[in-house]
Amino acid sequence: MFVDRAEITIISGKGGNGAVTFRRDPYVPDGGPDGGDGGDGGSVIFVADENLRTLMDFKYQRKYQAENGQPGMKRNRYGKKGENLYIKVPVGTMIIDKETGHLMKDLCFNGDELVAAKGGKGGRGNVHYKSSIRQAPNFAEAGGFAKERTVILELKLIADVGLLGFPSVGKSTLLSVCTSAKPKIAAYHFTTIDPNLGVVDMYDKSFVMADIAGIIEGASEGTGLGFKFLKHIERTKVLIHVVDVSGSEGRNPIDDYRKINAELEKYNPNILKKPQLIAANKMDIVQDEEKLQEFMDFMQAEGRKVLPISAATKSGIKELLDETLYLLETYEEPEIEEYEMFDFEQDEYDADYKKISAYEDEDGVYVLEGKQLSKIFNSTNFTDQGSIRYLYNYIVKQGGIKLLKAMGLQDGDTVRIEDFEFDYTDD
């Protein structure tokens, strides 16, 4: 089964806590702190792999988590870093943050990587908190939090040539005679419900051809299979527009051509800038020569090159592939529009990370919040005055008390940090 869209949850590893330990060696008087740092948590990293063709695996596994960092140890030994989790996806996969809808990265080339959820930083051990006035710090830093994110994976096929056309005009048959692909072929519409890929080998060269099926009038608004197929056209270099010129199903080939191109223009006008060959298919069963000539004259006025073929009898296939190969070899890549990547991994040293915010809830309790504040709060040893003082000094330094007093904080009022409440004393 071909799957080109999936939604998964990724979780990075939590950083290991710093250790609170002291030297206890014999014959070493006044042994000081020797708690080591915790290990960094593992990151979740997407990698584009050219050997993959579908997002099928993500239908069965929806949650991915990297390894946590280990806590620090005594004798200043560091905890082990958590292993990064590498998730392989097909080349052409876009990683989209579900919450914001922002594109995180388009993995267009084999080996492209994206750190989608960075692991938490390991906490510092108590050896870092020793000072001339704090000889035996009884606290250490907690490890950085894990990051959890829901992402949407969307695959746009990487193919050199795309086959366009209404259902049952012979695209699947054409693909089968040009390549070793074996698409399902039947005499009814929408036989193809998934894109099919095949490799065309010519002389000493090769290229990838894709059957972009399911495009009908209204596809650009989601009618039929709509966007499911239209998005796969965007990365192709050359388009082969397959048109049934036999009129065997009572269709008008000129109308079909106009309708398909109108849908492409509505979806993305840049698609019409790609080289487009017209494959006039089913020439072996043409009965109305006058209508055929009308179609040829129309295409000449449009400036399109028409190659008469019969996919069923393989007539004209070599000429079509020769022209396709020529267009590929002379194709010039358009300039890629640069887009500004959204900053999903905020640096812990940014001012916003250390910023403290305050508000008063409906119960009259004053609440302090902040990412760095939460990290220090979770590192605090509430049985140790030095550790509590370190927390309080941080709040004062970052302007937390000033914020609360501006809101009306008075002696005896309740202040909450996370799930801990205490009475404020102004002394």
pLDDT at residue 180, rounded to an integer: 74
Instruction: Report the alpha-carbon distance of residue 213 to residue 41 in Å, rounded.
Output: 44
pLDDT at residue 189, rounded to an integer: 45
Kind and range of the H or E run holding 149: strand 148-155
Q: Could you report how far apart the first and last alpha carbons of the chain are, in Å?
A: 70
Say which CATH topology domain 5-155 has: Spo0b-associated Gtp-binding Protein; Chain: A, (2.70.210)
pLDDT at residue 352, rounded to an integer: 64
Instruction: Report the alpha-carbon distance of residue 91 to residue 110 in Å, rounded.
Output: 6
> Which one-letter DSSP state was computed for residue 108?
-
Beta-sheet strands, E only, within 331-413: 357-360, 366-369
Per DSSP bridges, beta strands 306-308 and 357-360 are: unpaired
pLDDT at residue 336, rounded to an integer: 59
pLDDT at residue 58, rounded to an integer: 92
Sheet holding 205-211, edge to edge: 196-202, 205-211, 161-164, 238-244, 276-281, 306-308
| Domain edges within the chain | 5-155, 161-329, 351-423
Count how many Cα atoms sit within 13 Å of the Cα of residue 180 in the half-sphere of its side chain: 5
pLDDT at residue 61, rounded to an integer: 92
All residues at 6 or more sequence positions from 358 whose CB lies less than 8 Å from its CB, including other chains: 366, 367, 368, 369, 400, 403, 404, 407
All residues at 6 or more sequence positions from 351 whose CB lies less than 8 Å from its CB, including other chains: none
Which tens digit of pLDDT belongs to each residue from 112-146?
A: 999 999 999 999 999 888 887 788 888 888 898 89
Give the torsion sign (CA, 304, 195, 244, 184).
positive
pLDDT beneath 70, residues of the chain: 1-3, 27-30, 181-194, 213-229, 335-353, 427
Just give the CATH number of 161-329: 3.40.50.300
pLDDT at residue 219, rounded to an integer: 40
Is domain 351-423 given the CATH code 3.20.20.70 in the classification? no
Instruction: Report the alpha-carbon distance of residue 316 to residue 71 in Å, rounded.
Output: 69
* SS3 call for 113: strand
